[in-house]
Amino acid sequence: MNVYELNLKGKEHLKSMYSIYVIVLNNNMEKYYYIGQTGDRKHLSARSPFYRLTGHLDKQESSTQNQIYKGIMEKILKIKYDKNTYENVENYFENLQLKMYNFPIFEFNYNATNEEHTEKRQIVEVIENILLNELAKIIGKNRIINKKYSSTITIDENINEKVKNILEYILGKEI
């Protein structure tokens, strides 16, 4: 009998929080990166990083949250949805090592006001965009799975320090 185990230690990946996460796809030493953030634009919610990861891997064509699955198809395998899509992506997964790094920025408060939520979400979004741009400069846009991101500049030292710390950590671990 085969048994496959996923071991999530503690609640760090399951807890609602405002955070930046970096997902590294390593397939035969070919690495691709996805940078995301938690904090919903439409709802007072900041779903856990693990919840976001599961959505990113949804294989349904109609999904609006499966950026990693579609990134694998479009950027890595260079395929579109057809009758062989699921099998082709599963074959890519065969040698895949996926790592997720989570960087909490703010605690999530279920009793927060919409204004408090929006303020925290916007700060995390700025950090995400700066990090995407800085990482793309270092490793190249072709190794970033994210489809869209805008260039963001800030003079906020706290934000710049957070970006620097995240970038240094990822560069030390994965590049």
Give per-residue pLDDT as tens, 104-116. 999 999 999 999 9
- Residue 9: the pLDDT is 74
Give per-residue pLDDT as tens, 118-136. 999 999 999 999 999 999 9
Contact 71, 63 (CB under 8 A): no
Return the CA Rg of the chain: 17
Q: How many CA atoms lie within 13 A of 125 on its CB side?
A: 13
Q: What angle do CA 35, 96, 78 make, to 5 degrees?
A: 70
Contact 79, 92 (CB under 8 A): no
Position with higher pLDDT, 13 vs 17: 17
Percent with pLDDT over 90 in the chain: 83
**7 occurs within a structural domain:** no
**6 occurs within a structural domain:** no
Number of domains in the chain: 1
- Residue 29: the pLDDT is 85
CA 35, 41, 43, 44 dihedral sign is positive
**25 occurs within a structural domain:** yes
Residue 169: domain span: 17-174
Give per-residue pLDDT as tens, 23-72. 999 998 899 999 999 999 999 999 999 999 999 999 999 999 999 999 99
Closest CA to 74 of 175, 23, 146, 128: 146
**11 occurs within a structural domain:** no
